Structure formats: C-alpha cells, structure tokens
Structure 1
C-alpha cells in the first residue's frame, strides 16, 4: 500500500511538471504570436505587407499576351 502511494505521488509530481512545461510553452507561443501580429500590423500600416492578394499583377496577361 505504501509503495503504491509513493508511486502515485511520483506520477502526480511528474504530471504536474509536464503540465507546467506545457503551459510555459503555450505562453511562449502566445507571446511570439502577439509579436508577429504587431509586426504584421506595422508592416500593413507602412504599406510594405506582401501577402497572397497584394494587387501585384506583374505575371498577368493583357490582351492574351504575357507581360515581359
């Protein structure tokens, strides 16, 4: 019985440590995401954001002929 209690305590301790590490990793990810979002917003405000549909049509065709 005492051995089982000791094993259970150790398992609970390890579980708490895993949870603490996981929460710290989540917090780090959240901070990085917030920084990236702020950087993106600054870039958008400065007009230097280049995304999927930025209006750059340099590879489009006009009257069936490619722009070269």
Structure 2
C-alpha cells in the first residue's frame, strides 16, 4: 500500500489518497479522504489520516479481516 499526494486543480488544494497493492485507490479510504477535503480540512490533516488509514488497512490485511466486519476483540488482540 502507498500513500499518494493528489493535486486537485479545480480547487488548487493538495489532497491525499491510499493506493492498494494493485495501484488503485482503496475506495472506502478514498471516499473518506475526499469527504475531509470537501469539508475544508487542512491538507496536513488529510495526509495524517491517509497514513493512519493505510496502516489500519495493512493491519486488517495481515490479520485477514474485512473492514466492514472487524470487531473490538480483533483490535484488542
């Protein structure tokens, strides 16, 4: 997985995305980061969330967990 900066030419603001191992944006992460950008969060905030979400998705993949079905117990282990 890779965090990638995205230049949004329409608003002249940088944003961030997370690319999966197939070099395609991870859709749930992409939607959330786009939301943060749309509500005018700082690019630094969006970047921090991108790196944290990349780490979380890597953790889920390593554990074989689906992000829609993760339980508190899974995180606690």
Q: TM-score range by the shorter chain?
A: 0.3 to 0.5
The normalised TM-score by structure 1 is: 0.36
User: Comparing both chains, which one has the higher relative contact order based on Cα–Cα distances under 8 Å and sequence gaps of 6 or more?
Assistant: 2
Q: From the two aligned structures, give the one with the greater helix fraction.
A: 1
Q: From the two aligned structures, give the one with the greater strand fraction.
A: 2
Q: Which has the larger radius of gyration?
A: 1
The normalised TM-score by structure 2 is: 0.32
